[in-house]
Amino acid sequence: MQCNDKYWWYITIKADSVQEDNLFSLADISCSIGTELQELPQGVSRLRMYYRSNEEISFWKEKLLAAMREFPNVDIEDWGKIENQQWHVAVRDAFPPLPVGKNLVVLAPWHKGTEPEDRIPLYINPGSAFGTGYHESTQIVLELLEKYMTPGATTADIGTGSGILTVCAVKMGASYSYARDIDPAVIGEVRNNFELNDLDLDKIDLATGDLLKDFGHKADILTANILIDPLTEMVGDVPAVIGRSGVAIFSGMLEKEKNVFLSALANAGMKPIEELVKGDWWGVAAKAEA
């Protein structure tokens, strides 16, 4: 189904105002392309999230409901469609240039040419895939990747989403990169982001894949910015990919889930070497124990 630019879907969620950050997290995880927040009486926040019309509303609801399992006190209030009119202007305003870490800046394509000279630009078209760079979990991986990446390394990004982590790895000197996502619908969008960044596609192996099942490759750096359940399912297979000298960077977990994943790391024969927290989100760089 081709995208109909005459309208957008919307879904409205609400929760106690203390969970306002969680509402925005749900918007990013479910691939919303824009939001409107309303503060209601009695300490309640309502967030209307907008989605592209290239998928039916049921697709976006299922994506949102899957993410809401981690946020049990958030409710869906209503959903529907809204005529486009000047919405594209609001979308552009929602994605200003975003400095990340010491040397990176995330930019939507319409900001190309405005990037600071002292930062590496990561151009990402805000679309239906997770990982625009504006979510804390993505920023965690970018900052850790910036620290542990070495020129000439081979990288693997599992659950690549928008492809932003592979873009970052290649621009920081990766000699070859593997990018995998379980959803075949995002592959075209990822490839578009690679081309937007003028990456050499001969040095990238982009394909669908279910975590590390049938992966069969080695990597010096592995990144995975997904939810805790698939991370804990996958972590036992990571040491075989990175060996004793490689580094794995995991994110997409709430800080309250930290101990669960640290236990899974230990069971997989891995040890944390650095942890990072942004907002409610937690990530970790780890190595296989000798």
Question: Would you say the C-alpha torsion 161, 132, 151, 251 has a positive or negative sign?
Answer: negative
Q: Going by C-beta distance under 8 Å and a sequence separation of 6 or more, which residues neighbour residue 89?
A: none
Tokens of 158: 């599992």
The C-alpha atoms of residue 46 and residue 61 are separated, in whole angstroms, by: 17
What would the pLDDT profile of 69-79 be if each residue is shown by its tens digit?
Answer: 888 889 998 88
The C-alpha atoms of residue 32 and residue 99 are separated, in whole angstroms, by: 21
Which string of b and e fits 150-186 if b means at least 16 CB within 10 Å?
A: eeebbbbbbbbbbbbbbbbbbbbebebbbbbbeeeeb
In tens digits, the chain (290 residues) has pLDDT values of 334 457 888 999 999 888 888 898 898 899 888 888 887 777 788 898 988 888 889 999 999 999 998 888 899 988 888 776 554 555 566 678 889 999 999 988 888 888 888 999 999 887 655 566 778 889 999 999 999 999 999 999 999 988 999 999 999 999 999 999 988 878 888 999 999 999 999 999 999 999 999 999 999 999 999 888 999 999 999 999 999 999 999 998 989 899 999 999 999 999 999 999 998 889 999 999 86
pLDDT value of residue 33: 82
pLDDT value of residue 1: 33
User: What is the rounded radius of gyration, in angstroms, for the C-alpha atoms of the chain?
Assistant: 19
**Among the residues of the chain, which ranges form H helices?**
20-29, 57-68, 87-93, 136-148, 164-171, 187-196, 228-234, 238-242, 258-267
pLDDT value of residue 2: 37
Q: Going by C-beta distance under 8 Å and a sequence separation of 6 or more, which residues neighbour residue 42?
A: none
pLDDT value of residue 154: 98
User: Which residue, among 99, 97, 91, has the nearest Cα to 113 in the 3D structure?
Assistant: 97
Residue in this structure with the two tokens 């049921």, named with its chain if needed = 58
